[in-house]
Chain A
Amino acid sequence: METPWTTALRVAALLAADPHGFGGVVVRAGAGPVRDRWLDTLRTLLDARPLRRLPPGTGDDRLIGGLDLPATLALGRPVLGRGLLAEADGGVLVVPMAERTSPATSARLAAALDAGTVAVERDGIGARHPARIGLVLLDEGEGDETVPEALADRLAFRIDLGGIGLGETRAPGARASSSRADGSSAFPPTAERGGSAAAGAGHDVPPYDHEGTPVRDPVATLCTTAAALGIASPRGPLLALRVARRIAGAGAVDAAALAEAARLVLAPRATCLPASEATAPDPDETPQDAADDEARDGSATEPPPDDGPRDEPRDASPGPAPEDLVLSAARAAIPADLLATLAGGASGKAAARAGRFGAGAPDPRRGRPAGARAGDPRRGRLDLVATLRAAAPWQRLRPGPQPVRVRASDLRVRRLVRAPETTTIVCVDASGSAARERLAEAKGAVELMLAEAYARRDRVALVAFRGAGAALVLPPTRALARARRDLAGLPGGGGTPLAAGLDAAAALARGVARGGGRPVVVVLTDGRANVARSGAGGRAAARADAEAAARALAALAVPVLVLDTGAAGEGARALAEAARARYVPLPRADAGALAAAARGAGA
């Protein structure tokens, strides 16, 4: 019986076998005893190989390495201090709070994963160290917060320890022994159900009986499966192939090995459900039904007929084809929460996937410290320690009576990085008869968002469109009092110049992005445009203009949310599609729901 915990142990065993080859694992779990236990297991399996921890905010000198100043001064020659990447060579580097990893750090980690070496070009020293590391990204993110995709894409495994009780990790004897008699396969598939863990998992691999049969074309099988699951990056099938090879050991890759590799590597990366199963399946369906369903899926996603090896006659093995098995195994292992998201049709391709902890903008005055660099202290803040460090090696070369001889070139200033601030641009349809009510709701939502803005350090702006054009009613602000005053005099009524409204929102979003902020656009409309960009009336032209404006908005790659205040299925849905926006029908919006939806868009 595979439970999430045995899967996690399995991943630990595989990872320990070849940390660098598999890249590593994303462990989604809060800090706690289960996670600690898993890490202990990994440490045991790694044996003598290193397991290092990368504390959040670690600077380049510790991560990459640099001049070891005490040793340099003591020995009188440059000594290079190795960084964590080099120290973890051959083992794993554990990254706590990985969802907060900055793009800069994740790029350094990715470079080490790709090259297997770390290049040091720092502090007057150039060197290259082996850094064949695997990564363990401890993801404690909530909601939409995730680890950087650039990093996760390079790691073979993703496990979720969330639903595992401590008891499950402690009592191995409580589980039924393996039903496989020969024990030749590393992963015995069983049809047993039972134990409390099954409720959390609910995705058993359906029984199959021709394991051991070598699969003729494992590469094609994995690529087909990956395509059916909507996995774009070729690293998915490539890593799955490595895992399958490792599971199969010296023998040929068989269906069981492929199925397990697909289950461990491909399933957690799924971005869509296999073609014929767009609707959420009943989790309680019988195994027989599931097998039937999955056989259908597989046939729907077969590779083109010109794909050579598939045409060859296969062994007369009973049961479904290996492709179907692999896909069904992967499909069955898609985590429940991911399944719900995918089945809900939520757009998996949000324009900005960097998360709230996006690229930090350098700021000379404010922000969190991000190292030091050579510079003029008149234009920044002097970093005294870094300055003394920079001066130290040269003391012998600089004659003089002073105890410490510091030159202008030694001066270091603090580098500060500011997290981008989110500006929510509310673009509201103030036209027509319902305007009064809708405007009141929008105003209420803006005020609610502003009330939280102080804590979130966010700003809110309001664009209203009515009559012949759009107006910026409230420029980006976090001042509640000012917002109340500006919003009070907002009139409603007239035509619906939707295109003008979207253009104004897009212009504002561009301005915000240029200023280093992170815009989020919330459009509140029923989508029934009747005034074109030119200001002239006419539904057809107005609609065409509105869709063009929506596409322009999509090209900005900022998160957009369309709240449909009309009867669902009218213009607003098409608008949302054109803007690649999240679409929420909200016929009777109240201020609270509105604010909540906008928060969701920005998160």
Chain B
Amino acid sequence: MDSVTARHRDGEPDTVFEPTPVASAPPPAPVFPFSAIVGQDAMREALLIAAVDPLIGGVLVLGDRGTGKSTAIRALAALLPPMRAVAGCPYACDPEAPAAACPHCAGGAPRRAETRAVPVVDLPLGATEDRVVGALDLERALTRGERAFEPGLLARANRGFLYIDEVNLLEDHIVDLLLDVAASGINTVEREGLSLRHPARFVLVGSGNPEEGELRPQLLDRFGLACEVATPADIPTRVAVVRARDAFERDPAGFHAAHAAAERATRETILAARARLGAVAVPDAALEQAARLCLALGTDGLRGELTLMRAARALAALDGAATVGDAHLARVAPAALRHRLRRNPLDEAGSTARVARAVAEVFAA
């Protein structure tokens, strides 16, 4: 290198800032607490609903840059109460009701139960097919010459969450795999001389920025709820967002401690809602309203109606209500239906506005 230095001003050295020390081991990155997220009520509500009733089929979060999409999803993972699973089962089967397709638990051997954290599995971009569906265990093949199945990400996500950031950039062939498994809840592996099936029922959570690529309609349909997030427009909310983030970055442990009570309360709410979910009554009137809403919007198939119903019930459970009412339906309708509308070229309004309009019309009648 030549005489270039970071000096100027008569040879006086330019300010060299103290480098931040770099630790060698990767510490588990602290997660921003769910309860401390400022604003974005729709997204938080959708995530809570999915946590209460996993059968709703996942959440898609679409929105602007820097709106805390990934933050919220990772935060939810940290919040979830642990679950019981069959000890040693790579698919984390429920000890009460192991999946019929589970190769581990099907043998009828005595099952011990253990407590595990609910899996939240990241599907990183660039993941290869073999890691997603599972493949021959390379280590054992090389070192011992054995042919053994190594479960992939889909197996790890069973009974938990599968999170895909930038879901719209996922490679097509990985999307195809997901579509099939998400619909059936079973992963069928037929490769490298292996042939097996295992349970893979998970809540699909995706996030992305629609400006960077459209989502395939088939994948869109697999998500139960879709919410749109936008940057807060008013300055006080923005100040609160930056302030919270700043406080967290400067003192993660202290920030966590400050929000521990709120986190616990949210966790209790989820547990209580799960316990109450089966008892929430769905009156015929609510079913009719849901059907009318879907009819007014012209959504395809019954999935919209079913999701609307389930989501409204989960919301009622979260609210502590005994029956599903119009208010619940109206609140979840945008998230449950906005991604199922057929595009109407003559209607320039966005899908969210169209749902809102239909809700107003149906519930006014």
Q: Is A307 close to B, CB under 8 A? A: yes
CB within 8 Å of B: which of A390-422? 393-394, 396-397, 407, 409
The answer to whether A41 touches B10 (Cβ under 8 A) is no
Residues of B close to A89: CB separation below 8 A = 22
How many of B's residues come within 8 Å of A, CB to CB?
81
A contact residues around B7 at 8 Å (CB): 172
**Could you say which of A220, A306, A359 contacts B213, with CB atoms under 8 Å apart?**
A359
Decide: A111 near B5, CB < 8 A? Known: A17-B20, A393-B138.
no
Whether A78 and B22, one on each chain, are in contact in the complex, defined by CB atoms closer than 8 angstroms, is: no
B345 and A510 within 8 A (CB): yes
* Cβ–Cβ contact B246 & A241, under 8 A: yes
Is A313 in contact with chain B by the CB < 8 A criterion?
no
Distance (whole angstroms) from the CB of B219 to the closest CB of chain A: 15
**A234 CB contact (under 8 Å) in B127, B145, B245, B350:** B245
Binds B, one of A118-126, A437-445, A593-601: A118-126
The proximity string for B residues 132-146 relative to A, scoring 1 for CB distances below 8 Å and 0 otherwise, is 100111110111010
Closest to A578 in B: B348
* Residue B192, interface by CB 8 Å: yes
- Most A CB atoms within 10 A — which of B15, B29, B213? B15
Is A219 within 8 A of B150, CB to CB? no
Contact check, A237 vs B131: say whether CB atoms are below 8 A apart: no
Identify the closest chain A residue to B241 (Cβ): A234
Report how far A558 CA is from B192 CA in the complex, Å. 45
Q: Is the C-beta of A150 less than 8 angstroms from some C-beta in chain B?
A: yes
> Is B6 located at the chain interface by the 8 A CB criterion?
yes
Report yes or no: B17 in contact with A17, Cβ–Cβ below 8 A.
yes
Stretch at the interface among B88-96, B101-109, B165-173, B252-260: B165-173
The answer to whether A409 touches B191 (Cβ under 8 A) is: yes
The verdict on A186 contacting chain B, using a C-beta distance below 8 Å, is yes
Query: Are B20's CB and A18's CB within 8 A?
Result: yes
Q: How far is the CA of A13 from the CA of B327 in the complex (A)?
A: 56
Q: Which residues of A contact B231 (CB under 8 A)?
A: 232-234
Residues of A within 8 A of B22 (CB): 49, 89-90, 132
Nearest chain B CB to A106 CB, angstrom units:
9
Q: Does A177 contact B (CB under 8 A)?
A: yes
Cβ A186 vs Cβ B15 within 8 A: yes
Q: Are B4 and A41 in contact (CB under 8 A)?
A: yes
Asked if B6 and A45 sit within 8 Å, CB to CB, the answer is yes
Q: Which residue of the partner chain, among A108, A130, A373, contacts B26 with CB atoms under 8 Å?
A: A130
**Does A568 interact with chain B (Cβ within 8 Å)?**
no
CB distance from A86 to the nearest CB of B (A): 10
Stretch binding the partner chain, chosen from A200-208, A277-285, A549-557: A549-557
B139's partner among A78, A173, A178 (CB-CB below 8 A) is: A78
The reply to whether B16 and A552 form a contact with Cβ atoms under 8 Å apart is: no
Given contact pairs A117-B26, A234-B241, A396-B141, A44 touches B235 in the complex (Cβ within 8 A): no
- In the complex, the answer to whether B235 meets A397 with C-beta atoms within 8 Å is no
Task: Determine, out of A222-230, A446-454, A490-498, A520-528, the stretch whose residues face the partner at the interface.
Answer: A222-230
Query: Which residues, 86 to 128 on B, are CB-close (under 8 Å) to A?
Result: 122-128
Q: B-side binding surface: helix, strand, loop or mixed?
A: loop
| B:1-41 near A, CB below 8 Å | 1-2, 4-12, 14-20, 22, 25-26, 29
Chain A residues, CB < 8 A from B264: none
A233 touches B65 (CB 8 A): yes
Closest to B347 in A: A552
State A341–B349 Cα separation when bound (angstroms): 30
Nearest CB in chain A to that of B212: its residue: A103
Contact residue among B66, B125, B235 (Cβ-Cβ distance under 8 Å from A227)? B235
- Asked if B64 contacts A232 (CB within 8 A), the reply is yes
Q: How far is the CA of A237 from the CA of B246 in the complex (A)?
A: 10
Residues of A within 8 A of B269 (CB): none
**Chain B 225-244: CB-based contact to A (< 8 A → 1; otherwise 0):** 00000011001101101110
Interface string of A23-58 (1 = CB under 8 A from B): 000000000000001001101110101000000000
Q: Which residue of chain A has the shortest Cβ distance to B10 in the bound complex?
A: A177
Min CB distance, A187 to chain B, in Å? 8
Instruction: Decide if B126 touches A122 in the complex (CB within 8 Å).
Output: yes
Within 8 A of A (CB), among B40-58: none
Chain A interface extent, by class: 35 or more
A536 within 8 A of B: no
Chain B residues lying within 8 Å of A132, measured Cβ to Cβ, are: 22
Contact A307 B18 (CB under 8 A): no
Q: With a CB–CB cut-off of 8 A, which chain B residues contact A90? A: 22
Docked-complex contact B16 and A124, CB < 8 angstroms: no
A107, B125: Cβ atoms under 8 Å?
yes
B188 at the interface (CB under 8 A from A): no
User: Does B70 lie within 8 Å of A114, measured CB to CB?
Assistant: yes
A349 shortest CB reach to chain B, Å: 11
Q: Does B303 touch A at the CB level, under 8 Å?
A: no
Residues of A within 8 A of B4 (CB): 37, 40-41, 44, 169
Bound-state Cα–Cα, A362 to B172, Å: 8
* Contact indicator A21/B20 (Cβ below 8 Å): yes
Contact with B along A155-190 (1 / 0, CB 8 A): 000000000000001001101011000000010000
B130 CB within 8 Å of chain A = yes
Contact A303 B236 (CB under 8 A): yes
Task: Tell me which residues from 115 to 147 in chain A have a Cβ below 8 Å from any Cβ of chain B.
Answer: 115-126, 128-130, 132
A554 touches B209 (CB 8 A): no
In the complex the two chains form, is B138's CB within 8 Å of A153's CB? Answer: no
- Contact between A119 and B122, CB atoms less than 8 A apart: yes
Q: How far is the CB of B73 from chain A (nearest CB, A)?
A: 12
A41 to B124, CA, bound (A): 34
Q: A409 to chain B: closest CB distance in Å?
A: 5
- Contact call A124/B235, Cβ cutoff below 8 A: no
Pick the residue among A14, A120, A353 that contacts B17 (CB under 8 A).
A14
Chain A residue with the shortest CB-CB distance to B129: A374
Whether B142 contacts A76 by the Cβ 8 Å rule is yes
Whether the Cβ atoms of B130 and A124 lie closer than 8 Å is yes
CA distance A48 to B9 in the complex (A): 26
A577 / chain B contacts, CB cutoff of 8 Å: none
| Residue B153, interface by CB 8 Å | yes
User: How near does chain A come to B90, taking the closest CB pair, in angstroms?
Assistant: 13
A246 / chain B contacts, CB cutoff of 8 Å = 17
A307 contacts B236, CB within 8 Å? yes
Q: Assess A124 versus B136: contact at CB under 8 Å? Given A219-B242, A233-B65, A393-B142.
A: yes
Judging by beta carbons under 8 Å apart, are B129 and A150 in contact?
Answer: no
Which among A4-12, A324-332, A476-484 touches the partner chain? Answer: A4-12
Specify the chain B residue showing the minimal Cβ separation from A106: B212
Q: Is the CB of A551 within 8 A of B348?
A: yes
B274 interface contact, C-beta 8 A: no
Would you list 7 pairs from A and B whose C-beta atoms are within 8 A, ordered by A residue?
A14-B17, A43-B1, A77-B139, A119-B124, A303-B235, A307-B239, A359-B213
B interface residue numbers (CB < 8 A to A): 1-2, 4-12, 14-20, 22, 25-26, 29, 64-67, 70, 122-132, 135-139, 141-143, 145, 147, 150, 153, 165-166, 169, 171-173, 191-193, 209, 211-213, 231-232, 235-236, 238-239, 241-243, 245-246, 249, 345-350
Known: A172-B11, A304-B235. 10 other contacts (CB 8 A): A16-B17, A49-B22, A76-B142, A103-B212, A114-B70, A130-B25, A241-B246, A242-B249, A393-B141, A394-B192
